[in-house]
Amino acid sequence: MSEYHPLTLEEAIALARTIPDLFPEDARLSCREIGDGNLNLVFHITDPASGKSVILKQALPYAKVVGESWPLTLDRARIESEALQLQSSFCPDLVPRVYKYVPELAVTAMEDLSDHIIMRKGLIARNTYPKFAGHIGRFLARTLFLTSDLGMNQQEKKLLMKRFVNPELCKITEDLIFDHPYTDADTNNFDEAIRDEAEALWRDGDLHREVARLRHGFLTHAQALLHGDLHTGSIFVTADSTKVIDPEFAFYGPIGFDIGAVIANLLLNYAAQEGWSPTADSRARYRAYLLDTIRKLWTVFETEFRALWNERSVDRISNAPGFQDEYIGNILADTTGYAGCKMIRRIVGLAHVADIDTIPDAAAKEKAQRTALAIGKALIRRHRDVRSIDQLIEIAERSGQGG
Amino acid sequence: MSEYHPLTLEEAIALARTIPDLFPEDARLSCREIGDGNLNLVFHITDPASGKSVILKQALPYAKVVGESWPLTLDRARIESEALQLQSSFCPDLVPRVYKYVPELAVTAMEDLSDHIIMRKGLIARNTYPKFAGHIGRFLARTLFLTSDLGMNQQEKKLLMKRFVNPELCKITEDLIFDHPYTDADTNNFDEAIRDEAEALWRDGDLHREVARLRHGFLTHAQALLHGDLHTGSIFVTADSTKVIDPEFAFYGPIGFDIGAVIANLLLNYAAQEGWSPTADSRARYRAYLLDTIRKLWTVFETEFRALWNERSVDRISNAPGFQDEYIGNILADTTGYAGCKMIRRIVGLAHVADIDTIPDAAAKEKAQRTALAIGKALIRRHRDVRSIDQLIEIAERSGQGG
């Protein structure tokens, strides 16, 4: 089993048995492959007798997205397992536990989260998650501060950055988020109903300048170890629990990229309420919940990040008066801009979100798409001027009303 | 000879003989060690008969600066030889040719530049180098553009960055430039005559905030492969030739750091004219030459960087209207701030410059030190507002007059 090959169900079971202290020795394990087959195999292995279970995630040597397929490094399995273990050392309750990593097979054995659901599905079902904002705000503050030059030994940080150089997965982001939506690229994918919007994006030089700035931040600003793909499909939730999964895009980048990703996906669902809320009243209520979640997650992030800074900073001169405020202000501006980029690519770029794509009514779907683009563009255009989370929310609300 | 040890003269000769096509087979080589023994051994090997010669530079496993000594990685010899070869591919006439690199001995065999002098010595002798500005402007534009996300494949750039992760040498800069001068650190080293200036630096919170911003740029902004230590002691000159040497501090950092280093060292010599110019007239003339060199080197840098961008950019969306101007404007602001930091550390920090330290007259030396600090502080304080090279020069001139 030592050379790379996609595992069979039997091999997955055999591998699961090698995890110490998980299954009883004589357990009769059953196994299902539950991945979507686009990037990874995902084996769910259970022991009905003891009720114990495990997930084996195996990277495939290619990626398939919306019919396209290209080769993709297996090294992403190492990056994912190392990122999960590092995140676990900072917030053990907010990521799945890793039991084992087998480099030659690109397999990570990790905690089974079948009692959770993917947050995107929960939001489409219009559930509310009152603990989510606090959890994700803490996840962001701790994972980002404690891998930055503020929170860890600055020479060790350079070596950590080296381990997380991730060219192939960064290239996907650079192309699909920071380039293709702004030109007539083959990978773009949008409904003909909004062709006018797509073509306007391709011609908008002022918007391109702001996107170029954000793109160069992504390319050059090695501020902290990011999750790198923190959308609501990478988060498992229950009423009481939040688990961040799939950090295979992890690399050293700008802090605002991760925060912006979460906010963008909440705002995509906000836009999608055109299609899901049964009444104007219920739409307003759910949207208020989403905006409140954004306000709260930023506030928790900022509060915890500042507390870590005040208690655990390793960077003497960063305590200069006013520098912390300026640093946080720059994170908020980045957050705003990256949130905008992440919204736009989900409407006109290659990969969409189910929140909007599965809206049954065509007119409502189109309206949701236009709302998302209006918010996305406004966030990008105005990101450098945003001084508070309320201002970000106000931009989203106003531009979402066509205002 | 395969395990690391400091070479003897005989071993250096034996190694020099292994360089293909350099010396005649029967050459009677002679060898002198001409290094200062602080960081490296430098062997000068000559064949009087053929007139051919070579330099072998061997890294020592420690650094000595002003009496202090600490262990230092031999990997810097690899970084130096790889950086020289890369720079040579961009501007073959502006760096010494590398003949050979022997990793296990941390030895680089390179072109002998004995017909050149160290630029710092030339400036102290009040020579002028009319070709220097054009040469160094081109060196900066080409080495920085062609290793940035604008000028090379962006995935290969990430792998190149990984090869140049350089924690130990970056740490020296982080401590000695961006921390110690601003606190009562043991490493600081200044004349008692200017203790008032040093103590004012330690208390100046507004200045610390600006230095913190520049420090974080140095820590996180992986914009291009820098030389990393581009002072006038790292440059060999003749009337017609410029050669940049010693890139052992090379790493991916902010473009303005290299440009600022050159400008800082020209401005340190500008300040030093208090002690070297025989008359007020000659002082004004030499200072005008130095400021003109700064103006010209920036102008050549900007012109060549823009030309490369317009002709060879690999980054589609960076052609958005206005983005190039903004990018260059940010480089100029960084250049200004880093120039200021580099001046201050040479007056109150561990390592000084001969331009000022060797001024014979104590009063003139003190005045030169105060002038350098005034210019350095003004450049740091105002770096974000600088919009043109003339503005940078005006800040230097005015603050240098106590204005």
Phi, psi (deg, nearest 5) at residue B278: -70, -30
Closest CB to A158 among B158, B167, B317: B167
Stretch B84-98: mean pLDDT: 98
Q: Do A317 and B165 touch (CB under 8 A)?
A: no
CB contact under 8 A, A317 and B212: yes
For position B42, what pLDDT does the model report?
97
Q: In whole angstroms, give the CA distance from residue A387 to residue B209.
A: 19
The C-alpha of B381 sits at a distance from chain A's nearest C-alpha, in angstroms, of: 14
Residue to substitute from A219, A252, A327, A384, interface B, most B β-carbons within 10 A: A219
Q: Evaluate whether B56 touches B7 at the Cβ level (below 8 Å).
A: yes
pTM of the model: 0.97
- Picking from A29, A34, A58, A59, the residue whose alpha carbon sits closest to that of residue A44 is A34
Distance between B149 CA and the closest CA of chain A, angstroms: 7
Using one digit for the tens of pLDDT, what is the confidence trace for A124-163? 999 999 999 999 999 999 999 999 999 999 999 999 999 9
Neighbours of A85 (CB within 10 A): 14
DSSP reduced 3-state for B312: helix
CA-based torsion, B155, B160, B163, B164: positive or negative? negative
CA distance A38 to chain B (A): 23
* Separation of alpha carbons B33 and B56, rounded Å: 9
Across chain B, mean pLDDT equals 96
Q: Is the pLDDT of residue A294 over 50?
A: yes
pLDDT band at A70 (very low <50, low <70, confident <90, very high): confident
Instruction: Name the residue facing A220 among B155, B212, B223 (closest C-beta).
Output: B223
What is the 8-class DSSP label of residue B118?
E
Compute how many other C-beta atoms are within 10 angstroms of the C-beta atom of residue B300.
19
Residues on chain A touching B165 (C-beta within 8 angstroms): 158-159, 161-162
Distance to chain A for B242, nearest Cα, Å: 30
Q: Cβ(B346)–Cβ(B356) under 8 Å?
A: yes
For residue B154, give the nearest of A208, A219, A323 by CB distance.
A219
- Give the pLDDT score at B1: 62
Rg (C-alpha) for chain B, rounded Å, is 21
A11-32 pLDDT per residue, tens: 999 999 999 999 999 999 999 9
Asked if the interface predicted TM-score (ipTM) of this complex is over 0.85, the answer is: yes
Q: Does residue B66 have a pLDDT over 70? A: no
What are the CB-based long-range contacts (under 8 Å, 24+) for B117-121?
Answer: B117/B236, B117/B237, B117/B238, B118/B232, B118/B233, B118/B235, B118/B236, B118/B237, B119/B232, B119/B233, B119/B235, B119/B236, B119/B237, B120/B231, B120/B232, B120/B233, B120/B265, B120/B269, B120/B353, B120/B354, B120/B355, B121/B354
Q: Which of B156, B174, B318 sits opposite A154 (nearest CB)?
A: B174
- Cα angle, residue B137 at apex, residues B136 and B140 outer, rounded to 5°: 80
pLDDT of residue B403: 41
Question: Collapsing DSSP states into helix, strand and coil, what is residue B330?
Answer: helix
Distance in angstroms (rounded) separating the CA atoms of residues B333 and B221: 14
At residue A59 the predicted structure's pLDDT band, cuts being 50, 70 and 90, is: very high
pLDDT value of position A400: 84
Q: Which helix (H) or strand (E) holds A371?
A: helix A362-382
pLDDT attached to residue A393? 98
**Cα B223 from chain centre:** 17
* Two tokens, residue B305: 């960087």
Chain A residues in contact with B166 (beta carbon < 8 A) = 158
Are the Cβ atoms of A221 and B219 closer than 8 angstroms? Answer: no
More confident residue, A67 or B242: B242
Interface of A with B (CB under 8 A): 149, 154-156, 158-159, 161-162, 165-168, 170-171, 174, 178-179, 182-183, 205-206, 208-209, 211-213, 215-216, 219-223, 315-318, 320-323, 326-327
What integer pLDDT is reported at residue B126 of this predicted model?
A: 97
What does the pLDDT read at residue A371? 98
Separation of alpha carbons A329 and A349, rounded Å:
29
Closest listed residue to residue A232, CA positions, set A241, A220, A240, A243? A243
pLDDT number for residue A372: 98
CB pair distance less than 8 Å for A216 and B327: yes
d(CA B317, CA A344): 16
Q: Nearest CA of chain B to the CA of A93: how many Å?
A: 29
Residues of B with CB below 8 A from A183's CB?
316-317
Tell me the per-residue pLDDT of B226-282, one tens digit each, with 9 for 90 and over.
999 999 999 999 999 999 999 999 999 999 999 999 999 999 999 999 999 999 999
Place of tokens 């002709």: B311
Cα separation, A113 vs B78, in Å, equals 47
Chain A residues lying within 8 Å of B154, measured CB to CB: 167, 171, 174, 219
Q: What percent of chain A has pLDDT over 90?
A: 95
> For B91-185, where are the E strands, in sequence order?
98-102, 107-110, 117-118
Q: How far apart are CA A60 and CA B359, in angstroms?
A: 67
| CA pair distance B177, B215, nearest whole angstrom | 9
Which one of B158, B208, B222 has the shortest CB-CB distance to A320? B208
- pLDDT reading at A403 higher than 50: no
Query: HEC profile for A59-109?
Result: ECCEEEECCEEEECCCHHHHHHHHHHHHHHHHCHHHCCCEEEEEHHHCEEE
**Minimal-distance CA residue of chain B relative to A169:** B155
To the nearest whole Å, the CA of A204 is away from the closest chain B CA by 9
pLDDT in tens, A91-132: 999 999 999 999 999 999 999 999 999 999 999 999 999 999
